[in-house]
Amino acid sequence: MRIAVIAHDGKKAEMVQFLMKNRSFFLDKEVQLVSTGTTGQHALDAGLQVERVASGPLGGDAQIAAQITEGTVHMVLFFRDPLGKHPHEVDVSMLMRICDVHNIPLATNPSTATALLKSIS
Q: What 3-state DSSP class applies to 48?
A: coil
pLDDT over 80 (residue 26) = yes
In the chain, domain spans:
2-119
**Rg value, the chain, Cα:** 13
Q: Does the 2-119 domain belong in CATH 3.10.310.30?
A: no
Residue 88 sits at the vertex; the CA angle it makes with 51 and 50, to the nearest 5 degrees, is 10
pLDDT single digits (tens) 40-49: 999 999 999 9
Active site residue 45: no
Query: Catalytic pick from 9, 28, 45, 61?
Result: 61
- The dihedrals phi and psi of 35, each to the nearest 5 degrees, come to -145, 155
Chain segment 51-88, per-residue pLDDT in tens: 999 999 899 999 999 999 999 999 999 999 988 777 77
Query: What pLDDT score was predicted for residue 112?
Result: 98
What is the biggest distance separating any 2 CA atoms in the chain, rounded to whole angstroms? Answer: 37
pTM over 0.85: yes
Cα distances from 107 to residues 45, 47, 55, 58, 77, in angstroms, run 23, 23, 19, 22, 5
